A and B are shown apart, each in its own frame.
Chain A
Amino acid sequence: MSKDNQLSQWEVFMQTKNGGPFEHQGSLHAADKKMALQNARDLYSRRKEGRSIWVVPTECIVASTKEMEEEFFDPANDKIYRTPNFYKMPQGTKNL
């Protein structure tokens, strides 16, 4: 008998409302794209959760690590001038 194969792993992203973001739901196994899409529907939308689905082979996901966290994300901490509240508007200014 040939060696067991459980097919390849895929990641599932689903849009729950029209116009909304595609959010990660989890993963599944499938042999091909069509199968992955259908399995995603059967697995992650059993309760009408979905409107649209993306599936991506897991091996295509590139993830940052904990070690990268500081150098990647901390430099943004002191750039508060990117947020609207940083700016003082003259009293009585409207529509801004």
Chain B
Amino acid sequence: MPEFRPRIVAFVCNWCTYAGADLTGTSRMKYSPQVSIIRFPCTGRIDFMLLLKAFANGADGIIVSGCHPNDCHYSSGNFHARRRWIVFRALLDFLGIDVRRIQFSWVSAAEGAKWARLVNETAERIHGLGPFTDYHRLRGMGVE
């Protein structure tokens, strides 16, 4: 059996976490290459249906990260994301998704080290949970 390499998609905001991840790079801190970033203007822009679509298309884990509460570049987008996450989280059990597969966090533009730590911890946890296959069968059933 080939070694399991989790696919983790990170949905991040442009102003805090994307810049924080840039700082991780500028500081040459190392982290797991299993995470790739998709940039959004704000976590408030993230439609949580996209998370399901990512799972349906082969993601094993997801990170959603933006500015800390009160620090949103657009005042309140991260609060909308947080509210959406609270509602969405309650649905995960019904959807058959282990809540540990989604990491919701705040990483500021100054927290390069936190981003590296967050990625590594998430990658390790997803590795422990194993591949997420339940949703692949949903492809072609309307979820995508």
Decide whether A and B are members of one complex. no
